A and B are shown apart, each in its own frame.
Chain A
Amino acid sequence: AQKITQTQPGMFVQEKEAVTLDCTYDTSDPSYGLFWYKQPSSGEMIFLIYQGSYDQQNATEGRYSLNFQKARKSANLVISASQLGDSAMYFCAMSPLPNRDDKIIFGKGTRLHILP
């Protein structure tokens, strides 16, 4: 069975510093996808970034990058130059790749607080 673990329930980071949010996963599937989402206090869910397990390079999207270490089964989210608006709950998720069972499972989240 697949499992996602986010070990940091909460983090406090000074504005403008880089942030790393941890995510480890467990799966027996040979191919899979990894996702990160943001949920601000207003409640909406925002997709941030995606990494396929077969991708040669780590995914990047603006200030977000996914530090994918396949052997360690980790998919940490890195936010460069953090901003006050980055304060939110962040969820890591994974799914087997297409043509199979396509469920997406989520970690329990990390609440990030950016301090001015």
Chain B
Amino acid sequence: EAQVTQNPRYLITVTGKKLTVTCSQNMNHEYMSWYRQDPGLGLRQIYYSMNVEVTDKGDVPEGYKVSRKEKRNFPLILESPSPNQTSLYFCASGRPGRGSSDTQYFGPGTRLTVL
């Protein structure tokens, strides 16, 4: 079964405490990406990766880091979280129009609150 796994699903943390949101896919997709969703702003892409060791900035990369050391995993790292990073985060795998992937799967989302 095609699956994108995100952990944790919910996280409340404090300003400045480093955190990592993990994302893993089992479809051998080359393309993976991270988004944040905020009320009134829709979804905005944070980072994307077109393959192992290839990552690039999306629209709102400030305050975030990613890594792609292996194909299945694409963690999102907040080195020093701030309250304006309180949001709903989605990881996605696959990208129609690129390579062999004709669809895109999303993880269940991570609701992050930074106090």
A interface residues, Cβ below 8 angstroms from B: 33, 35, 43-47, 50, 52, 91, 93, 95, 97-98, 101-109
Contact = CB atoms under 8 A, between A and B. Distances in A.
A41 to B, nearest CB: 13
16 contacts: A35-B104, A43-B109, A45-B43, A45-B106, A46-B106, A47-B96, A47-B105, A50-B96, A50-B102, A95-B95, A102-B48, A103-B56, A103-B58, A104-B48, A106-B44, A106-B45
Given A45-B109, A102-B95, A106-B44, 16 more contacts: A43-B88, A43-B109, A47-B104, A50-B102, A50-B103, A91-B43, A95-B97, A98-B99, A102-B31, A102-B48, A102-B50, A103-B48, A103-B58, A104-B33, A104-B58, A108-B41
Q: Which of B88, B95, B97 has the most C-beta atoms of chain A within 10 angstroms of its own C-beta?
A: B97
Interface in B54-89: 56, 58-59, 88
Contacts of A109: 42
B106 A47 contact: yes
A91 B2 CA distance: 22
Contact of B42 (A95, A103, A106): A106
A102 B56 contact: yes
Interface of B: 31, 33, 40-45, 48, 50, 56, 58-59, 88, 90, 92, 95-99, 102-106, 108-109
Contacts of B33: 104
A44 B108 contact: yes
A52 B98 CA distance: 10
Contacts of A91: 42-43
Contacts of B105: 47
Nearest to B96: A50
